Amino acid sequence: MSTTSITLRPVQPEDLEVFYLNNKDPEAVWMAAFTAKDPADREAFDAHWARIMASDTVIIRTIEYHGEIAGSVLKYEMEGEAELSYWIGRAFWGQGIATAALKVFIKELEVRPLHARAAADNLGSIRVLEKCGFTRTGTDRYFANARGEEIEELIYILE
């Protein structure tokens, strides 16, 4: 898919309803694994988004695909390192949207290196990172709320 089919724009308040539904979709939550304790908790979702939208170190974009809200991509900081995260609504999976959006976003962000993490069995996310030029630097193990146990996580970097 050409990157011209997607648009990244600043988040508008009405996007949050879509993000909330996407973020509590059970199949997506299982994939992402490292999620909020209760992704259906609307109050916690609203508090989290209010916090990240107000943060100076977080950059968030809504991904539009032919004018529809397909998902979100964001950069945040963890222990001083720039980390990327993304989430596409299930109805939009498998059309190259995450790859196209991430390519545009990393071009827009001037900061390097960029870091990203994915559950070791999140094959879609791993493939997106590899297609965007990230290389794997190692693995870690963390407790994944969505799985109720510690699982392996792959660590990626874009220099």
Ligand X SMILES: CC(C)(COP(=O)(O)OP(=O)(O)OC[C@H]1O[C@@H](n2cnc3c(N)ncnc32)[C@H](O)[C@@H]1OP(=O)(O)O)[C@@H](O)C(=O)NCCC(=O)NCCS
User: Contact between 98 and ligand X (CB under 6 A)?
Assistant: yes
Query: Shortest Cβ contact with ligand X: which residue?
Result: 124
Q: How many residues bind ligand X (CB under 6 A)?
A: 21
Smallest separation, CB 94 to ligand X (Å): 5
124 is a site residue for ligand X (CB under 6 A) = yes
For 67, 73, 121, 122, the CA distances from 76, given in Å and listed in that order, are 26, 10, 23, 20
Taking CB under 6 A as the binding criterion, the range among 11-19, 49-57, 94-102, 104-112 that sits at the site for ligand X is 94-102
Quote the tokens at residue 65: 């695909």
Per CB under 6 A, 8 contacts ligand X: no
Contact 23, 37 (CB under 8 A): no
Q: CB of residue 95 vs ligand X: minimum separation in angstroms?
A: 5
Q: Which of 3, 7, 95, 145 binds ligand X (CB under 6 A)?
A: 95
Within residues 44-73, the interface with ligand X by CB under 6 A covers none
